[in-house]
Structure 1
Amino acid sequence: MKRIAILGSTGSIGTQTLDVISHYPDLFAVEGLAGGYNLSLLAEQVNQFKPKKVSVATKSLADELKLMVPSSTRVYYGEEGLLEVAAGTDADYMVSALVGSQGLRPTLAAIEAGKDIGLANKETLVTAGHIVREQVKRRGVKLLPIDSEHSAIFQCLNGESMKNVHKITLTASGGSFRDRTREDLQHVTVEQALQHPNWSMGAKITIDSATMVNKGLEVIEAHWLFQLAYSQIEVLIHPESIIHSLVEFADNSIIAQLGNPDMRVPIQYALTYPERLKTPTASLNLAQIGKLHFREMDYERFPCLKMAFESGLAGGTATTVFNAANEAAVERFLKGEIKFLQIEDIISDALDKHVLVSNPDLEQIMEADAWARVAAKRIN
């Protein structure tokens, strides 16, 4: 039986991970759960899966949760709680499904504790990829991708030698505004931005999909996951989200991974690798779909993706600033403080003002992250 801890259990990936686990109660046991502010859902999860440890965002929520769950479940809160669930349980596998750079420290703690990682928190590798890779190698743990695109690449590479890889292509749906011009984007609303055409995701990731920041973060994550140069990573718009990504080899052969847009497939594969089990998802019917469409990426239309590549090539703290400035800008957009297109302006300004640290340690990364957030809140 595989023992699982989940960071971000009340979010989109977390709830779908628990759904996968619920179909195989003989194979999985939940040791720890960390939610945020959704107390009622977290209490339901605790009462169903009976983890030994659980964490919430604040002390007041923790006090309230203690009255809603069995006394055998220990309740924590804040960053200490995240670290406790990540590294302080008997879990041998930790699913990192937090949104944003808050996932970095607990993921590093889980790696240090010798736990295999199912990674859905792309910001962990974006902000500190060199540190994460070094710790994974030193501790000898597995780092398995959960994002559909990286899972697709991982599956396409099964049994292949990396020296034979020519390039990888990450597919992108194009997000909520893929068919709108930049002129059309001048006055779009938060509600419009949150209407993703294919996937059911949290608010922050849905906005990132519309700006193409999410794909930029995935590009940087792919660089670290598969140890590929940025010149070997491409992005292709694929509106249907049926081909999740593909690999081209030295002989020009291309292997792609296809499936309906349902995150439970890559989640389950990360949990059961190298085995494949039945899933509750629908089978893909290509005849019913009929046609698949593709468009070349327009980096003028989606400047955030261009900035992601540039940040990755710059290296060091540039990717940390790219991510942190975006998190702060998206938060401002969701609150109605700025317009949609100002998100990219804020990221660009923060990158321009940042003094790069080429080979940062964890403290320098956290300093760059904090600086970028302050800067992004001041930029109009």
Structure 2
Amino acid sequence: MVRSLTILGATGSVGRSTADVVLAHGEELRVEAVVGGRDAGALAEIARRLGAKFAALADESGGGALKQALSGTGIECGAGSSAVLEAVEREADTVLAAISGTAGLAPTHAALKPGRRIALANKESLVCAGAAFMADARRLGVEIMPVDSEHNALDQALAAGRNGDVEKAVITATGGPFRTWSRERIARASAKEASAHPVWSMGSKINIDSATLMNKGLELIEAHHLFELEAERLDVLVHPEAIVHGLVQWSDGALTAGLALPDMKVPIANALRDQGRLRMSLPRLDLAAIGRLSFERPDEARFPCLSLAKAALKAGGALPTILNAANEIAVEAYMAGRIGFYDISEMVGSICSTFSGRAMAAPATVADALAIDQEARRAARQLIPA
């Protein structure tokens, strides 16, 4: 049976890898709609390659360029928030949610429809509004399949036992470009240096989150909601080879691990599977050729963003939402050259401290989450030097 798919964030790195998976399985997957951000030309190209029926650009000003680029193809298109929601509303068995940042929260939440599967690559849906998002997913009978390599590996490893028998679920980190750098050298790092991820090809913001290890902190919060595991049962290990993506330590002493080459097509194919796994003609993992896998504890003194995220997860309430909002503003300022590398953690810590005394409850709805997000962003912007 052919299954229909809508791709949110089709022009990003996850979206492009998804296109490769779809094209390798045209007899099983067809694309209903694709959504992009600002690049009309790139979105039109992907829509044509995949034979999509509808294409939506989030940037309303690019509507004319998208229409012109799709002229004569028969592919319907639109631009702006209404067009994005139209894409989400169209009939599809699975929605792959890969819009980066908090901008992906509203359309991913709108994609929750009875009987659907959400292949989730937008971690902010759970970091900002995890309790509300997952409650709505359960109420509507929506299956959530994690796409991030770490959570996808955990999802597979956790199938080996019961949740109550999990002592620790561990996600791995490459350590980023500054793993071996001194704190003094890291303090002088430019945004270009921070964006140079040693393994994965991702967007600049995610690359910088990987350099600060905030990305791992956000992934712990995401794992908490995905797998119903408390902060005490979640951890991070640095693993530079990026072969082991997730591990589960069981109460009987056994350890189950998810391994794969660092290629996003592997977890994407797993998230899009139906009765059986999709066959992918990718290189196979050759452990003998690799020869050695290494692990180390993250250095939270050099990478304090991880500590901040762990504290937000443990505190709960609205603090994860606030943490994420402050981080997005701080990273934006760092990329613009307005603050230094360690100013990111200073800003995020300051905003979290400011809001933590207010005992703010976890957002009950996505609208609540977005309102808290905006309040935290306004506060964070006031800390950026003029």
User: Which bin holds the TM-score, normalised by the shorter protein?
Assistant: over 0.9
Q: Sequence identity of aligned pairs in percent?
A: 40
Deviation at 1:124, TM superposition (A): 0.4
Stretches (4+) displaced over 3 A: none
d(CA) in 1 for partners of 2:43 and 2:109?
24
Q: Are the counterparts in 2 of residues 153 and 247 from structure 1 also a CA contact under 8 Å? A: yes
Aligned length: 379
User: Are the structure 2 counterparts of residues 79 and 356 from structure 1 closer, same or farther at C-alpha, using a change threshold of 3 Å?
Assistant: farther
d(CA) in 1 for partners of 2:187 and 2:303?
14
Given the alignment of the two structures, is residue 83 of structure 1 paired with residue 85 of structure 2, yes or no?
A: yes
d(CA) in 2 for partners of 1:18 and 1:8?
11
Q: Are the counterparts in 1 of residues 55 and 78 from structure 2 also a CA contact under 8 Å? A: yes
Q: What residue number does 1:331 align with?
A: 332
d(CA) in 1 for partners of 2:282 and 2:336?
35
Given the alignment of the two structures, is residue 136 of structure 1 paired with residue 137 of structure 2, yes or no?
A: yes
Pairwise CA RMSD: 1.4
The residue matched to 1:296 in structure 2 has which SS? coil
Q: Which moved more, 1:177-186 or 1:142-151?
A: 177-186
Given the alignment of the two structures, is residue 12 of structure 1 paired with residue 13 of structure 2, yes or no?
A: yes
The alignment's TM-score, normalised by the length of structure 2, stands at 0.95
Deviation at 1:274, TM superposition (A): 5.0
d(CA) in 2 for partners of 1:320 and 1:76?
31
d(CA) in 1 for partners of 2:300 and 2:210?
14
d(CA) in 2 for partners of 1:159 and 1:234?
19
Given the alignment of the two structures, is residue 369 of structure 1 paired with residue 373 of structure 2, yes or no?
A: yes
d(CA) in 1 for partners of 2:15 and 2:124?
16
Q: What residue number does 2:125 align with?
A: 124
Deviation at 1:106, TM superposition (A): 1.2
* Amino acid paired to 1:361: A
Q: What residue number does 1:54 align with?
A: 55
User: Are the structure 2 counterparts of residues 273 and 300 from structure 1 closer, same or farther at C-alpha, using a change threshold of 3 Å?
Assistant: farther
The residue matched to 1:95 in structure 2 has which SS? strand
Q: What residue number does 2:176 align with?
A: 175
* Amino acid paired to 1:12: S
d(CA) in 1 for partners of 2:252 and 2:204?
41
The residue matched to 1:241 in structure 2 has which SS? coil
Given the alignment of the two structures, is residue 358 of structure 1 paired with residue 373 of structure 2, yes or no?
A: no
Alignment of structure 1 residues 127-276 onto 2, 5 Å: 127-273=128-274, 275-276=276-277
Q: Are the counterparts in 2 of residues 9 and 34 from structure 1 also a CA contact under 8 Å? A: yes
Q: Are the counterparts in 1 of residues 243 and 261 from structure 2 also a CA contact under 8 Å? A: yes
* Amino acid paired to 1:374: R
Q: What residue number does 1:33 align with?
A: 34
Q: Which moved more, 1:258-267 or 1:107-116?
A: 107-116
d(CA) in 2 for partners of 1:125 and 1:235?
18
The residue matched to 2:171 in structure 1 has which SS? strand
Q: Which moved more, 1:68-77 or 1:125-134?
A: 68-77
Deviation at 1:22, TM superposition (A): 0.5
Deviation at 1:356, TM superposition (A): 3.8
Deviation at 1:37, TM superposition (A): 1.5
Deviation at 1:159, TM superposition (A): 4.6
Q: Which moved more, 1:52-61 or 1:243-252?
A: 52-61
Q: What residue number does 1:24 align with?
A: 25
Deviation at 1:258, TM superposition (A): 1.0
The residue matched to 2:271 in structure 1 has which SS? helix
Q: Are the counterparts in 1 of residues 351 and 379 from structure 2 also a CA contact under 8 Å? A: yes
Deviation at 1:315, TM superposition (A): 1.3
The residue matched to 1:32 in structure 2 has which SS? strand
Q: Which moved more, 1:152-161 or 1:318-327?
A: 152-161
* Amino acid paired to 2:83: G
Q: Are the counterparts in 1 of residues 248 and 255 from structure 2 also a CA contact under 8 Å? A: yes
